[in-house]
Amino acid sequence: MDQTSASNAIDVPAISAGGLVQRGAHGPLRRFLRAFIHFFSYHLILSRKSIRTIRAARFHLRVRPTVFHPSVFLSSEYFAEFLDGLDLSGKIVADIGTGSGILALAAARAGATEVLALDINPNAALSALENAGERPWRPCDTVACMNLLAALPPLPAL
């Protein structure tokens, strides 16, 4: 690292938690809100047993159980709308953690020539594959279920 970028860095003390390094401590209110959101998002949305058909970002999508739901967690829908405004002609796009495949579909709709949709969740990879297969144009060249972190060595335990 050169001295220019080192002088602009902000030094935040690292906190070790269970072998992982966290930056900064969170207050009790933030921890409570995170636990509250996690509890309700899991128990009301992700643990459902049925396949839902939804409309998000001008797509009709099938969302299987345990898959990130783009009409409930709005970040995917907002980012898909953002991708619609980009010119991705001639680009290769990888959607890592694809969920329902909404961002891979949006990238293909924006003109990407090749799209790769990856997720560790087999239901998500299947949802993305189903959603890509229902398009009159071929949006995703590859949909894969894989763990990208499996090749990394484990962290040493303290």
28-145 placed in CATH 3.30.497.10: no
Apex CA 151: angle with CA 22 and CA 145, to 5°? 100
**pTM, entire model:** 0.68
- Exposure of 94 by Cβ count < 10 A (0-12 exposed, 13-18 middle, 19+ buried)? middle
Kindly report, residue by residue over 86-143, the tens digit of the pLDDT: 999 989 999 999 999 999 999 999 998 888 888 988 999 899 989 988 676 666 667 7
